Amino acid sequence: MRILLAEDDTLLGDGLRAGLRQSGFQVDWVRDGAAAERELRAQPYAAAVLDLGLPLMDGLDVLASIRRAGVTLPVLVLTARDTVPDRIRGLDGGADDYVVKPVDLDELAARLRALVRRAHGLPQDVLQAQGVTLDVAARSVSRDGQAVALSTREFDLLQALMLSAGRVLSREQLEQQLYAWGQEVDSNAVEVHVHHLRKKLGTELIQTVRGVGYLLPRDSR
């Protein structure tokens, strides 16, 4: 799950990025509001963590700008501004959650998972389709009750397809969700991960839509 982190404090940003990566997120980190606005308009992130006190462009201005542009991804505001009026302005300005620094990394990861879950209309962190169960928080997968070991990329790819069950995702869309900035992507990486998932979870689970991408069908029941 790829997210954007907008935080100008180098020490805090480095810690947040490392902690969120350990929780399974792919993190792109920017250090000013102008860069945050540009990336949120251009990239298909699952969610964003947005500091309010950013240089070049205030976080509330970033939030207002992307909402006017129709960007609907979940945004968690992370800030030292802890007064009630500040929280009200953030939430009324389009934030989906508001966390005051300092923040516990496990809580931050849980809040992000909840935001993404709600954005997809899901009631809990457990995804199910075609006999496969994926626990987002535990990062575990089972097929018909039997645990299946997946690599990090295989898990992330399966999660992306299950979150978009019934909708075709192109190779480019999947790459954008699986890899953060600076990570090397082989030209056939998605195809290789799909091949491994089919071997581990069944050839019928993921369908290839020729010339378009990949589809994980919704359960018929």
Domain membership flag for residue 221: no
**Could you say which of 62, 84, 119 is where a domain stops?**
119
CATH of the domain at 13: 3.40.50.2300
The model's pLDDT over 146-179, given as tens digits with 9 standing for 90+, comes to 999 999 999 999 999 998 888 999 998 898 888 7
Domain membership flag for residue 220: no
Identify the domain containing residue 84 by its residue range: 2-119
**Could you say which of 84, 119, 154 is where a domain stops?**
119
The model's pLDDT over 171-206, given as tens digits with 9 standing for 90+, comes to 988 988 887 766 666 778 899 999 999 999 998 899
Mean pLDDT, the chain, integer: 90
Quickly list DSSP for the chain.
-EEEEE---HHHHHHHHHHHHHTT-EEEEE-SHHHHHHHHHHS--SEEEEESS-SSS-HHHHHHHHHHTT--S-EEEEES--SHHHHHHHHHTT-SEEEESS--HHHHHHHHHHHHHHHTT-SSSEEEETTEEEETTTTEEEETTEEE---HHHHHHHHHHHHTTTS-B-HHHHHHHH--TT----TTHHHHHHHHHHHHH-TTSSEEETTTEEE-PPP--
Number of domains in the chain: 2
Domain membership flag for residue 176: yes
Q: What is the pTM of this model?
A: 0.82
**Could you say which of 119, 144, 174 is where a domain stops?**
119
Could you tell me if 103 and 145 lie in one domain?
no
Q: Is the pLDDT of residue 221 over 60?
A: no
Could you tell me if 141 and 104 lie in one domain?
no
Domain membership flag for residue 28: yes
